[in-house]
Amino acid sequence: MNYGVFIQTNHKQIVGAIVAEHAIRRYSAHNDKFDIHIMDSRNYPFFAEHEGREYLRDGIKRVWLNDDLQSFTPTRMMPPELMGYEGRAVVIDPDVFACADIWDLLSREMNGKAIMARMRSGPKGLIDGNVASSVMLLDCAKLTHWKVEEQFRAMFAGTLDYQDWIGLRKEPRETIEFIEKEWNDFDKFTTETKMLHTTRRKTQPWKTGLKVDWRPAERFRAFPPAGWVLRLRRQLFGEYGLMGNYKAHPDKNQERFFLGLLKECVNEGKISEEFLRNEMAQNHVRHDAFEMLDKTPDLPPAPAHPLSAGNLAMAA
């Protein structure tokens, strides 16, 4: 097929990735026009090969840990290779959930650009110029220089900085066009949202109550002392020391939307009860998942937006 949607994941975010695939299919009226691929970092040996080795991240040496929540991020750059450098691809993180037809993004006019995405919010976007590669529309034929294993290895050789790579800072700006923020809505859920991105990792709805298992950035150009404190924390208490627990999501509509999608996945057999319980036992999914699903209201039938007419807001 000339059109593909790619969802990145690792072992810790596999439930999110399956739910993300379900959401895309649920809200698309054009499912016969594109394939969906879940890219699990465990399927690419060069990730495991570099376990425990130092790599360059925003000018600082960090240790690569495949057990980190976001160790999948280099797979963002894999779709052009996987598509044979042909056709169109949309790539998303495993915590991005469609509530509109992704075909509208996948088939849109790219005006000769290679990449369409949105700018990062906050200092990483405004000061550092990072593009949010967590959702991208790609013209694969224009990205033949994306060779993921080669670029991944360059991080460990010190010739490529992770942040430059993931933030698309080395891509010519004339090859990038920005898309509407609603296609990658950072923790904002309105009737205009087309894809919800739960970027605040500490409140991801399927993690509530678990111990934090992701590592924060350690360089803040807007306020360097914050980075110094975080580096000291890591040196004294370990990678996840003093990081606390995942918290309940402050927006109940976002929580109910995710849980409503997860409930459908379980009911439709896309996620078995045994699989979900195993993910809970590994601390990848909140331990009260089944209790939460029992009291989560059904989502309105597609293509109705989940927030239309207050569908989720009115739920008890």
> Of 12, 186, 30, which Cα lies nearest the Cα of 96?
186
Domain assignment of residue 296, yes or no? no
Domain assignment of residue 277, yes or no? no
**Residue 126: what pLDDT?**
44
Confidence of residue 308 (pLDDT cuts 50, 70, 90): confident
Domain assignment of residue 128, yes or no? yes
Domain assignment of residue 306, yes or no? no
CATH of the domain at 66: 3.90.550.10
Domain count, the chain: 1
Question: pLDDT tens-digit profile of 190-246?
Answer: 999 999 999 987 899 999 999 888 655 545 454 455 444 445 545 544 554 545 899
Q: How many CB atoms lie within 10 A of CB 275?
A: 16
Task: Kindly report the pTM of this predicted structure.
Answer: 0.88
Question: pLDDT tens-digit profile of 113-134?
Answer: 999 999 987 545 444 679 999 9
How far apart CA 4 and CA 85 sit, in angstroms, is 12
**Residue 273: what pLDDT?**
97
Domain assignment of residue 287, yes or no? no
Domain assignment of residue 46, yes or no? yes
How far apart CA 248 and CA 284 sit, in angstroms, is 15
Question: pLDDT tens-digit profile of 68-90?
Answer: 989 999 999 999 999 999 999 99
Q: How many CB atoms lie within 10 A of CB 314?
A: 8
Q: Which residue(s) pair with 186 in the sheet?
A: 197
Domain assignment of residue 251, yes or no? no
**Which domain range does residue 89 map to?**
3-197
Q: In whole numbers, what is the pLDDT of the chain averaged over residues?
A: 89
**Residue 233: what pLDDT?**
44
**Residue 201: what pLDDT?**
78
User: Does a cis peptide bond (omega within 30 degrees of 0) precede residue 303?
Assistant: yes
